Chains A and B, each alone.
Chain A
Amino acid sequence: MIFDILIHGFEWASIYILIAAGFSLIFSASKIINLAQGEFVMLGGLVGFSLYSLHLPVPLVPFLSAVVVAFTGIATERVAICPARRASPTSLIIITIALSIILRSSAALIWGPYSFRIPGFSTAFPFKAVSGVVDPDYLLIIVVCFVSISLIGLFLKKTRLGRSIRACSMDAIGARIMGVSPEKMRALSFFISAGLGGLVGVLIAPVFYASSDLGLNLGIKGFCAAVLGGMGSIPGAVAGGIIIGLSEAVGASFASSYRDIIAPVLMLVVLYVKPKGIVGGRD
């Protein structure tokens, strides 16, 4: 029982961490809260299913799908965010909401109202040893989350591009003086975040199925995790994701119908007590 709760908790936590990291990356590069992040996850799953049905080699599917969604991300940024960069923060939030509506409806037009299941990727990976104890698909999600979060952390800390993104989050004008283009960093952050979302989308498709209405709920959870931990910080995304994932797993085992309220309520409490989130600095 407790083991089950923990496994599910960490599985959900991994998903939320990756989505929250997407929110945080875009926020730190451009101070935009991209509410279309969940739709990138949805797209990832559906694109993954289409690629899978083309009989491509299975381990290739997640990567290809992530790349396709990453380019969708950069395209949305170019078309909708870039021309409106002078709008107020709230107008930009409304733009990203409109983007999410467009992405969701377009996906519903293309793929229809069906749920698609991609058979587990884990069969293509060497995970068979533990499959008696834990569903290998869950384990794959947790492992991929761990690896990609570590990679993103390294990217932001150690590489020149990553440091440029962090420079923009500290002081956009200062960064520009030092030869970093905030516009390019914004585009890059959309690229990485969308790709990350796409990756999550494919990986959860064997468990939760891929469908066009998946994005909203996941996006909101991931967004709550990001705000809870502190918008714009990767450790914050990890903390927020784990807190929300575990509390949902615990909550779902007691009163499953109230499960979807847990994340918004937790977020509201934190927003009220400490608006910059758990890991964030002073208000």
Chain B
Amino acid sequence: MRKIFIKWTVFIGAAVAVPFIFEYILLYPLEPVLRAGFFVMLAVSLALVVGLAGQISLGHGAFFGIGAYTAAILATRSGLPAFFTIPLGTLVGMTAGFLIGYPVLKLRSYYLALATLVVGIAVQEFFKAADPLTGGEMGLYNIPNIKIGNFEFYSPLAHYYLVWTFALLTIFICDRISRSSTGKRLKALHSDEEAAACAGIDVFQTKVKIFIFSSALAAFAGTLFAHCSYGTIDPGEFGVSLSIKIITMVVIGGMYSVYGAAMGAIIISLLPELIRRLGDFVYIDLTQITHLNDIVFGVVLIMFIIFNPQGILGKQEG
């Protein structure tokens, strides 16, 4: 109990201190750490499905997109405040998680990977194609900020604290789940589905439940994203590359632990900034920097799978 208390004091302290470090010591915009907050939510929620339950999903970004688009559509077209759009977006993401997870989780191993990958592609293509609803390729704009009373979450700093509050909450909840009886059931079916079924675990139902929960969390992150992205979202943000990025974070951080996934999320989302910093010392053409990022990202991913498949934090709570 005492250990947990100290651990969380450190986490919260770090989260509170980071903006000041960025503002006064690094003299660097807060944007990347704000984005890292979203990625922490996504990676941690995916770690429940991939790490705990052992079910690969390459389409997690789709639920993030579904949440974001639902919130944005509700906010811009029917003028609902964030107080309603966020729960409704989460609900739609949850429903999508059920509708997609129910058929797809009957598949195993790489068939599951492929099906989820393709679902992710189809969802993004839908965002692009369903113009009257989603704004097509251009996306949606004029999405209002979140307001509580007279206070409007307008500045990056306000966004940062809002997002990281929920990111830490997500880590806490997912950690609790992985230690709960549900978590134990998931670990059991991860290591051997037949044995878990023999021990009286409803394997399929447990998988679907955790998939729905994970989708709902991703959709929730999406609703926050829609309200914290300076009023615009477009379909390019919710594609295959996002899903790949999330699974990379989980793999690199160590998929068996919620903290590992969170760490992977922070490392991967800050990696581009490090490479950009490198540009101060070595000459890098700025128009090429995204490609360079992607190459480094790909190489790191392959090296991790080859040399350190357990991830940075490894299998510490097996």
Instruction: Judge whether A254 is part of the interface by a CB distance below 8 angstroms.
Output: no
Shortest Cβ distance from residue A92 to the other chain B in the assembled complex, whole angstroms: 8
Would you list which residues of chain B between 265 and 318 have a CB under 8 Å from chain A?
288, 290-295, 297-299, 301-302, 305-306, 309
A123 within 8 A of B: no
Chain B's interface: helix, strand, loop or mixed, by majority? helix
Given A90-B56, A97-B244, A268-B122, do A102 and B111 touch, yes or no (CB 8 Å)? Answer: no
User: How far in angstroms is the closest Cβ of chain B from A193?
Assistant: 17
Is the Cβ of B131 less than 8 Å from the Cβ of A98?
no
Name the residue of chain B whose CB is nearest to the CB of A93: B113
Of A83, A109, A267, which one neighbours B118 at CB under 8 angstroms? A267
Contact, CB under 8 Å: A258 / B309: no
Cα–Cα, bound, A258→B128 (Å): 9
A109-B290 Cα distance, complex, nearest whole Å: 10
Q: Which residues of B contact A171 (CB under 8 A)?
A: none
Q: How far is the CB of A33 from chain B (nearest CB, A)?
A: 6
Which of A89, A98, A257, A260 contacts B110 (CB under 8 A)? A89
B114 in the interface, Cβ–Cβ < 8 Å? Answer: yes
A105 and B113 contact, CB distance less than 8 A: no
How extensive is the interface on chain A, given as a class? 35 or more
Taking a contact as CB atoms under 8 Å apart, the answer to whether A33 and B298 are in contact is no
Q: Is A205 an interface residue (CB 8 A)?
A: no
Residues 24 to 50 of chain A near chain B (Cβ within 8 Å): 33
Query: Residue on B with the closest CB to A276?
Result: B111
Tell me the bound Cα distance from A99 to B294 in angstroms: 10
A272 x B302 contact (CB < 8 A): no
B114 contacts A33, CB within 8 Å?
Answer: yes
Interface of A is mostly: helix
Pair A264/B294 contact, Cβ less than 8 Å = no
Tell whether B107 is near chain A: CB-to-CB under 8 Å: yes
Q: Which of A260-282 contact B (CB under 8 A)?
A: 260-261, 264-265, 267-268, 271-272, 275
Given A99-B302, A109-B292, does the pair A271, B247 have CB atoms closer than 8 Å? no
User: Is A19 interfacial (CB-CB < 8 Å)?
Assistant: no
- Chain B's closest residue to A35 (CB) is B117
User: Contacts A89-B110, A105-B292, A271-B107 hold; do A94 and B298 have CB atoms under 8 A apart?
Assistant: no
A60 contacts B by Cβ under 8 Å: no
Minimum distance in angstroms from B168 CB to a CB of chain A: 28
A170 contacts B by Cβ under 8 Å: no
Interface centre among A258, A264, A268, by most chain B C-beta atoms within 10 angstroms, is A264
List B177-195 residues whose CB lies under 8 Å from chain A.
none
Interface centre among A33, A99, A220, A268, by most chain B C-beta atoms within 10 angstroms, is A268
Q: In the complex, are the beta carbons of B295 and A265 less than 8 A apart?
A: no
Chain A residues near B103 (CB, 8 Å)? 272
| Cβ-defined contact, B114 with A98, below 8 A | no
Q: Whose C-beta in chain A lies nearest to the C-beta of B241? A: A101
- A-side contacts of B251, CB under 8 Å: 91, 94
Interface string of A114-127 (1 = CB under 8 A from B): 00000000000000
Decide yes or no whether B121 CB sits under 8 A from chain A. yes
CA distance A102 to B302 in the complex (A): 10
A275 CB contacts on chain B under 8 angstroms: 107, 111
The complex places the Cα of A83 from the Cα of B106 at a distance, in Å, of 31
Q: Which residues of A contact B175 (CB under 8 A)?
A: none
| Residues of A participating in the B interface, judged by any CB pair closer than 8 Å | 33, 80, 83-84, 87, 89-91, 93-95, 97-99, 101-102, 104-106, 108-109, 216, 220, 223-224, 227, 257-258, 260-261, 264-265, 267-268, 271-272, 275
17 A-B interface contacts by CB (under 8 A): A80-B306, A84-B306, A89-B110, A90-B110, A93-B114, A94-B244, A95-B305, A98-B248, A101-B298, A257-B128, A257-B131, A257-B136, A261-B122, A264-B119, A264-B121, A271-B111, A272-B107
